[in-house]
Structure 1
Amino acid sequence: MTSTKIQFLVQMTCESCVNTVKKSLENVDGVNNVEVDLAQNSVVVDTSLPTLEIQKKLESTGRLVAIKGYQGSIAAVSILEAGKEDVKGVVRFVQATPDTCIIDGTIDGLKPGKHNIEIHECGDLSKGCLSVGKVFNPAQYSGERLYGHLGSIVAERNGRAEFRREDKVLRLADVIGRSFVVSLTENEGSTAPISCGIIARSAGLFQNPKTICACDGTTIWDEVAKPNSKSSL
């Protein structure tokens, strides 16, 4: 499985903090390397695990954690903000290599069971998920599947689906500005979209120095501490 580097901002004040953070990721299958910079509050993890899994381990130390960037030629994020109000989630994309796009997400509020995940043609949420167009399938593409059909995910009994997959077809540059869509699978009686969000470019590794909002002076720690914060800087 392809690994990628993820940079986290972790609230640390001393070498003891550094040691605690490193220990939280010691001997974890799927974690290849951890680099900690106390001066920058930066933790870079080389891993094949889902982002949320690493974030939870870092948060288990009792410190505030935010995601800063990903290694890859292009990175993007889709925040599910249209469709059913109780379905919320964040899906991240990284073009880890020219032939591999990593898709990493957490979605809550789903009906337990299988759901399709797809890229649709338009980044237009003016009518919610009804204005995102069809599944994206460029004319020059001739593969066996629809280009934008990414397969299915499974929501557990609590309504949460966590996933990380490697896609050998998708090229992230082709889908920036389009929409990520979650829909019910055919065996559940419908393929209608239930939640969607625009795919927007995000920061790559070491490309995001922001720790404070210039407009109101809010620090990243203030933002992360908010209930249900989706802050990824």
Structure 2
Amino acid sequence: MTSTKVEFLVKMTCNSCVKDIENSLKDVKGIKNVDINLANGSVVIESILPILDLQKKLEATGKQVAIKGYDGTAAVSILEVGEKNVQGVVRFVQASPDTCIIDGTIDGLKPGKHNISIHECGDISKGCTSVGKVFNPENNTKKRIYGNIGIITAERNGHAEFRLEDNIVKLSECIGRSFVINMQDQKGTPVACGIIARSAGLFQNPKTVCACDGTTIWDEVSKPNSKSSL
């Protein structure tokens, strides 16, 4: 499997905090390398694990954690349109020219199988009805329709986590379009959708305070359903 690097901002105050983080990540299968910078409050993890799993490992130390950046071209889709109970975050990282990692966590789904896809338009002004058709460029010569990413399964509690390696999707062609999820047996009716927006690369996001209102990233993380903590 292809590994990716993710930079987390972790609220650390001393070397004891560093030790706590080292212990929480020690001997975890799927983690290839960890780089902790106490001065910057930065933890960079190279792994093949879902990003949420890594975040939970860090949060298990009792410290506040926020995702700060990714290695390579990266994007995120916040599922904020559709059925009101469905919420989630889907992250995209172009890990290599031929591999796009698609990593998601979605809650509020009906148990069972769901299709996930990339659609032509980043227009959610009319909900999920204005995102257009499944994205399929004219020059696509693959057997699969370009934007048909695959099928995921929601558990009995409506929760779904997934990490897919896709060798057809090129993230540069998908930024500004929409990510859509629909239940497999509902004839393609969207359950939720969100615009695919570019996100910060590794070490490209120095901001910890919002210039407009002075809100710190830790204030943001502590909000219910914060995008930094999903």
Amino acid in structure 1 at the alignment position of 2:32: N
1:20 maps to 20
TM superposition shift of 1:190: 2.5
Task: Name the TM-score, length of structure 2 as normaliser.
Answer: 0.98
TM superposition shift of 1:81: 1.1
Cα distance in 2, alignment partners of residues 230 and 79 from structure 1: 8
TM superposition shift of 1:189: 3.7
- In the TM superposition, what are the counterparts of 1:110-189 in structure 2 within 5 Å? 110-185=109-184, 188-189=185-186
Amino acid in structure 1 at the alignment position of 2:113: K
Amino acid in structure 2 at the alignment position of 1:210: K
**Identical aligned pairs, as a percentage?**
68
2:228 maps to 231
2:216 maps to 219
Amino acid in structure 2 at the alignment position of 1:212: V
- Listed one character per residue, the Cα deviations across residues 108-167 of structure 1 (whole Å, up to 9, x for unaligned) are 000011000000000000110000000000001011110000000111111010011100
Structure 1 position 200 matched with structure 2 position 220: no
Structure 1 position 2 matched with structure 2 position 7: no
- In the TM superposition, what are the counterparts of 1:17-96 in structure 2 within 5 Å? 17-72=17-72, 74-96=73-95
Cα distance in 2, alignment partners of residues 230 and 157 from structure 1: 24
Amino acid in structure 2 at the alignment position of 1:131: S
Amino acid in structure 1 at the alignment position of 2:208: T
Amino acid in structure 1 at the alignment position of 2:199: S
Cα distance in 1, alignment partners of residues 224 and 78 from structure 2: 16
* 3-state SS of paired residue (2:207): coil
Cα distance in 1, alignment partners of residues 53 and 187 from structure 2: 31
Amino acid in structure 1 at the alignment position of 2:188: T
Cα distance in 2, alignment partners of residues 12 and 182 from structure 1: 37
Equivalences, count: 229
Cα distance in 2, alignment partners of residues 79 and 127 from structure 1: 16
Cα distance in 1, alignment partners of residues 224 and 15 from structure 2: 29
Indicate the RMSD between aligned Cα atoms, in angstroms: 0.8
Structure 1 position 191 matched with structure 2 position 188: yes
* 3-state SS of paired residue (1:123): coil
Cα distance in 2, alignment partners of residues 223 and 124 from structure 1: 26
Cα distance in 1, alignment partners of residues 117 and 92 from structure 2: 13
1:11 maps to 11
* 3-state SS of paired residue (1:177): coil
Cα distance in 1, alignment partners of residues 6 and 150 from structure 2: 24
TM superposition shift of 1:193: 0.9
Task: Name the TM-score, length of structure 1 as normaliser.
Answer: 0.97
* 3-state SS of paired residue (1:196): strand
- Structure 1 segments, 4+ long, off by >2 Å, are none
Cα distance in 1, alignment partners of residues 203 and 104 from structure 2: 21
Amino acid in structure 1 at the alignment position of 2:210: C
Structure 2 segments unaligned to the other structure (5+ residues): none
* 3-state SS of paired residue (2:153): strand
Cα distance in 1, alignment partners of residues 144 and 57 from structure 2: 36
